[in-house]
Amino acid sequence: MFKQWEQAPAQTRIEADRFVGQLVFNADGLIPAIAQQHNTGEVLMMAWMNDQSIQETLATGQVCYWSRSRQTYWRKGESSGHQQKLVSMRADCDGDTLLLLVDQKGPACHTNRRSCFFFELDANEATVLNDVNSGLTEKP
Work out the mean pLDDT of the chain and round it to a whole number: 93
Checking DSSP bridges between strand 31-37 and strand 98-104, what pairing results, if any?
Answer: parallel
Q: pTM of whole model > 0.85?
A: yes
- pLDDT tens readout for residues 52-73: 999 999 999 999 999 999 999 9
DSSP 55-99: HHHHHHSB-EEEETTTTEEEETTTTTS--EEEEEEEE-TTSS-EE
Q: What is the pLDDT of residue 125?
A: 95
Nearest 5°: the CA angle 35, 79, 138 is 55
**pLDDT at residue 90 is higher than 50:** yes
**What element of type H or E holds 5?**
helix 2-5
Domain boundaries, the chain: 25-106
**pLDDT at residue 102 is higher than 70:** yes
Which CATH number, 3.40.50.10470, 3.10.20.810, 3.40.1000.10, 3.30.429.10, labels domain 25-106? 3.10.20.810
CB 109 within 8 A of CB 135: yes
